């Protein structure tokens, strides 16, 4: 018998199990009618479920509410078929007004986190699509906007859906309208395609054809599943995906997880599904069953690892809180690592202040300074004076003057100090007929 834990207990084993589920690498979810009860859609087998409601309303027609979903009983007479169409229309209106619950949002979070491998549901309410999951619909054509190939589908309805109506004779498919208007196509109506073909034959003078009636595309008891081969292919693919992980070096904190929510596991197909997924790789896959009442007995020993008794929505809330803690720890670790890696790069390097040129105030020139234009004119005047008195100067002195490095105006002394040695040199050169520059500042022409 699987190990049984109660959600209201605050034991270490339950906390460790929630931690392992929150850190799962891949998750497969199998859900039943129990997850939609809080959304306003009744389940089937409880004391207030759909079976009891049907029996109370139509006890004179059917002996059990289950018979209304049994294909060998419901289409036995026109009276039972009318009751079936009535309840299917009523259930369709309930599904149209319902909104996704906490468990549907939990599955959507699994998909957003990238850990959801697949969600299998026995429900026909279509709330997975409203929650934002991509749903595999075999009745949608490839050109339709809602068509999703099974490889990309996040949710697989095991028992069909209430989205479409199908003709029992020609298998033509139509959208099951959510409105109860006169123009809407409803369950129990005659197939438009069958009517059109019959009218064409009658116009040609031939006998009319039989006309089929439309029924919801849900799978009933005691009838073959019309898409069983496609669903078997999807299940086999996911079972192989769960078994591809190496059994060596697998950490408990990073396992693959199979979650079973809100079902009694009485439907044979659902039992086979859970067994196949749980036993695909038992060393690396953790299987957890969560329900209000214990379901798994000795027959599930070695298949289901843990049976948690409690509200499924409370379980999902606790896993979400663990996700929040893990996210905060991850963000803190990343921040610390980024700070540690950035610290050595700035160590030992002086901080350089960069100042924009336009923001630097211009320094006031000294009172005895001259401008650049004035300095150039002074140079030219001085050169002219020197040239006028150096008719007999030798060429070597001229070459030396040309090789001398020019001085920038900012490096020159004030004008009074600059002109005094020049005047003295010119006076001496004029007297001795020889040019020397005794000034410490060279004048370049």
CA distance 54 to 70: 13
Q: Are strands 214-218 and 160-167 parallel, antiparallel or unpaired?
A: antiparallel
Estimate the crossing angle of helix 78-97 against helix 50-57, to 10 degrees.
Answer: 130
Strand partners, 120: 30, 156
Identify whether 159 is a catalytic site residue: yes
Q: 92: closest CA among 221, 30, 154, 184?
A: 184
> Which residues 6+ apart lie within 8 Å of 150 measured at CB?
136, 156, 230, 233, 234
Residue 192 · residue 155 · CB < 8 Å: no
d(CA 256, CA 270): 20
Rounded to an integer, what distance in angstroms lies between the CA atom of residue 33 and that of residue 25? Answer: 26
With contact defined as beta carbons under 8 Å apart, do 219 and 196 qualify? no
In the 3-class helix/strand/coil scheme, how is 319-351 assigned residue by residue?
A: HHHHHHHHHHHHHHHHHHHHHHHHHHHHCCCCC
SS3 271: helix
Compute CA distances 437 → 198, 395, 401, 416, 425, whole Å.
126, 15, 10, 17, 6
What is the C-alpha to C-alpha distance for residues 147 and 135, in angstroms, rounded to an integer?
8
DSSP 433: T
Structure tokens at 302: 């070695």
Please report which helix (H) or strand (E) contains residue 193, including its range: helix 192-203
Q: Are 141 and 147 in contact (CB under 8 A)?
A: yes
Q: Among the options 86, 147, 159, 164, which is catalytic? A: 159
Instruction: Indicate which residues carry an active-site annotation.
Output: 159
């Amino acid at each position: 018998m699987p190990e049984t834990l109660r959600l209201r207990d605050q034991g270490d084993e339950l906390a460790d199990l929630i931690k392992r589920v929150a850190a799962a690498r891949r998750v497969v979810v199998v859900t039943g009618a129990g997850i939609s009860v809080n959304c306003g859609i009744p389940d089937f087998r409880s004391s207030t479920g759909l079976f009891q409601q049907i029996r109370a309303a139509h006890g004179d027609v059917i002996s059990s509410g289950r018979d209304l979903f049994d294909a060998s009983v419901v289409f036995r007479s026109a009276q039972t078929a009318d009751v079936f169409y009535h309840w299917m229309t009523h259930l369709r209106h309930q599904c149209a007004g319902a909104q996704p619950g906490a468990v549907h949002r939990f599955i959507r979070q699994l998909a957003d986190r990238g850990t959801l491998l697949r969600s299998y549901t026995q429900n026909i309410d279509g709330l997975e699509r409203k929650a934002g999951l991509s749903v595999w619909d075999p009745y949608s054509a490839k050109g339709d906007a809602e068509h999703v190939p099974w490889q990309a589908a996040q949710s697989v309805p095991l028992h069909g859906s209430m989205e479409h109506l199908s003709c029992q004779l020609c298998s033509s498919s139509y959208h099951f309208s959510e409105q109860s208007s006169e123009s809407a196509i409803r369950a129990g109506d005659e197939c438009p395609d069958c009517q059109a073909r019959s009218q064409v034959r009658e116009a040609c003078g031939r006998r009319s054809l039989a006309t089929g009636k439309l029924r919801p595309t849900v799978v009933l008891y005691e009838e073959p599943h019309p898409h069983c081969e496609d669903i078997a292919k999807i299940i086999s693919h996911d079972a192989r995906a769960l078994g591809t992980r190496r059994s060596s070096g697998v950490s408990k904190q990073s396992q693959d997880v199979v979650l079973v929510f809100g079902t009694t596991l009485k439907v044979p197909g659902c039992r086979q599904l859970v067994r196949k997924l749980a036993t695909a790789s038992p060393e690396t896959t953790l299987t957890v069953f969560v329900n209000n009442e214990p379901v798994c007995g000795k027959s599930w020993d070695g298949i289901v690892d843990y049976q948690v008794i409690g509200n499924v929505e409370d379980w999902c809330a606790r896993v979400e809180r663990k996700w929040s803690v893990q996210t905060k720890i991850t963000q803190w670790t990343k921040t610390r690592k980024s700070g540690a890696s950035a610290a050595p790069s700035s160590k030992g390097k002086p901080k350089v202040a960069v100042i924009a040129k336009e923001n630097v105030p211009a320094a006031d020139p000294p009172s005895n300074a001259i401008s650049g234009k004035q300095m150039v004119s002074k140079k030219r005047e001085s050169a002219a004076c020197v040239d006028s008195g150096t008719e007999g100067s030798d060429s070597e002195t001229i070459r030396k003057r040309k090789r001398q490095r020019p001085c920038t105006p900012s490096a020159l002394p004030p004008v009074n100090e600059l002109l005094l040695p020049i005047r003295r040199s010119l006076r001496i050169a004029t007297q001795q007929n020889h040019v020397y520059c005794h000034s410490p500042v060279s004048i370049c022409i």
